[in-house]
Amino acid sequence: MDFLDRMAAATSARLDEARAREPLTALRARALETPPAPALRLQGKFNLIAEFKRRSPSLGRLGDDDVKARVTAYANAGAAAVSVLTEPSQFHGNLEHLAAAATTLAPHRVPAMRKDFLIDPYQLYEARAAGAGGALLIVRMLSQASLSELMGCAQELGLFVLLETFDADDIARATRVVEVAGSPRASDISSAERASGEPGRIPTTRVVVPAILVGVNCRDLQTLDVVRDQFSRMAGLLPRGILRVAESGMTTPDHCADVARDGYDMALIGSALMTTPDPAGVIRTMLAAGRAAA
């Protein structure tokens, strides 16, 4: 079993426990009653998704920083969105972190994104009920039927989706998802619009198709090592007209400049922000480098 196989098994167990605590019908009702989240805050030619996580499987413990203080620093420095790890065993995350981040970010008009090893629509309803505006889906963990089901749920909820890929096969599958969903260009991204359901029925959501992002994760799933050359190798395969995201191993301004020159529109920065006392300064420096190179 590689890392994703192990995480899928752990996620399935967590999912069973969550369903036992709250039925899907009740959770879905809560999710659909949650006020819409902000859209991605895009500025300039290159943007960052800043990440909050308390542990990394490759680096170990990253700290027990206060969620609210750190995500506020991210927002003030210009992050387009904030990724929040909710996986407990390897990343020491939970849904409370996501809810705290979403509440804190709302006045800044920055969305929170649930990052986890999601395998079922139930978990997207959990994310929306916690206030999230987006979610990450790992293409390799999901069948095409499961991807379609999750994308349909995300559209119902008005969540933007980051489709995470590792190689050419993953990108081909993600491209098919994008073609079916008809994701808008970045300039067309809009907040979801909520509509009331009929009396006695769970409210439904009428949305402008939310953004779909496609990311490349350059981490080797067997060793968890970073293989940064994967960004340039995969760049030409990514679908055009949507936001392309470089994920993992982005630790310096030069790394942001490199991926911007390769054609990526965004970078997801995690450990580099959790291990510095000045995350806002790091974000500003990385944004400047990426925008200068874009």
Q: Determine phi and psi for 161, rounding to 5 degrees.
A: -125, 130
Q: Tell me if 204 sits within 8 A of 32, measured CB to CB.
A: yes
Instruction: Kindly tell me if the per-residue pLDDT of 241 is higher than 90.
Output: no
Confidence of residue 146 (pLDDT cuts 50, 70, 90): very high
- Write down the mean pLDDT value for the chain: 88
Q: Which of 166, 187, 163 minimizes the C-alpha distance to 175?
A: 163
Alpha helices in 22-142 (DSSP H): 24-33, 67-77, 95-105, 121-129
Note the CATH architecture for domain 3-186+223-293.
Alpha-Beta Barrel (3.20)
The DSSP secondary-structure symbol of 277 reads S
Q: Which of 292, 278, 265, 205 minimizes the C-alpha distance to 80?
A: 265
What tokens appear for 218 in the block?
């350059």
The predicted-structure confidence for 2-48, as pLDDT tens digits, reads as follows 888 899 999 999 999 999 999 999 999 999 999 999 999 999 999 99
Q: Which has more confidence, 175 or 220?
A: 175
Per-residue pLDDT at 193: 30
Instruction: Provide mean pLDDT across the span 238-263.
Output: 94
Confidence of residue 207 (pLDDT cuts 50, 70, 90): very low
**Torsion (CA) 142, 139, 190, 96 in degrees, nearest 10:** 70
Q: Tell me if 129 sits within 8 A of 34, measured CB to CB.
A: yes
For the chain, which residues make up each domain, given as ranges?
3-186+223-293
The predicted-structure confidence for 103-118, as pLDDT tens digits, reads as follows 999 999 999 999 999 9
Packed helices 253-261 and 279-293: angle between N→C axes, nearest 10 degrees: 30
